[in-house]
Structure 1
Amino acid sequence: MKLPIKARTLPGRLATGAYILHSGLEKWRDDDEQHAAGIHGTAANAFPFLKSMSPRRFMRLLAAGEIATGAALLAPFVPAAVAGAALTGFSASLVTMYLRTPALHKPGSVWPTPAGIGISKDVWMLGIGIGLIADAATDK
């Protein structure tokens, strides 16, 4: 049985998948209400529809999304287009949050402030996700 994964996609899938899965598992186990409120507050400022959700519920849904995305990237039987779509959707939301949060980037610029460096790097995950989709779309 031939798996739908190519050697050239392995480094990106493994690196991002392991990182996102680990992040999701950490959030799933996190019971710090202040931490949840901080993450929820940042997300809700960028995406106002999230304000009506409790910080704990938001953290659980975020953790579940990260676990699912990380697992999809790591599972060799998940096609590149599916894993890439999951990663693209997840990272696009992070990049959007970065761009909608003025404190994270310099005024009138996409370049990060010191507070935004960690989140600005999520653009690399967006590139990997789009690359997985493009690779799958150009298969012969």
Structure 2
Amino acid sequence: MKLHHAPIRLTAGALILNSGWDKRDADEETAQGLHGMASGAYPFLGKIPPTGFVRLLSAGEIALGTALLLPVVPARLAGAGLAAFAAGLVGLYLRTPGMRKEGSLRPTQDGLSLAKDTCLLGVGLTLLLDGCRRDDEVTIIAEA
């Protein structure tokens, strides 16, 4: 892991790991709420029972958070996972009624917490792109 990746990997990884950890023992009401919101944006998720959905979501968040925190996981792999996960969250923001001001991408007060997930998408894409970059490409560009 590159030293300059540490701050974004540690903060994003800790945030996502904590979120997954908190969902491990979600009660039925919480499971139904999370599942309802997710299946409203992504109807195919409606086929999964709410408790099963939350178990899968929890496991995925724990795995992703751990991958971000472990320095042995390459940046491009951690970035790809984070970008995919965050893209799903941004899609949730864009598809859920009441999250955005009418005719705008700007969030409502209710949508602010989901709109902030665009930052995770940026972090994931940065890790992915930086992990795919070759040092000799940078040198060539710098010399041009």
What band does the TM-score fall into relative to the shorter chain? over 0.9
Q: Which residue of 2 aligns with 1:62?
A: 57
- Give runs of aligned pairs for residues 1-140 of structure 1, distance below 5 A: 5-30=1-26, 32-140=27-135
Q: Distance in 1 between matches of 2:129 and 2:47?
A: 36
Q: Distance in 2 between matches of 1:139 and 1:55?
A: 43
SS at match of 1:107: coil
Give how far 1:139 is off: 2.7
Q: TM-score when scaled to structure 1?
A: 0.94
Q: Distance in 1 between matches of 2:48 and 2:101?
A: 29
The structure whose Rg is larger is 2
**Structure 1: stretches of 5+ with no match in the other structure:** none
Q: Distance in 1 between matches of 2:67 and 2:78?
A: 5
| Identical positions, percent | 49
Q: Which runs of 4+ in 1 moved over 2 A?
A: none
Give how far 1:22 is off: 0.6
Q: TM-score when scaled to structure 2?
A: 0.92
Q: Distance in 1 between matches of 2:12 and 2:134?
A: 22
User: Across the two proteins, how many residue pairs are aligned to each other?
Assistant: 135
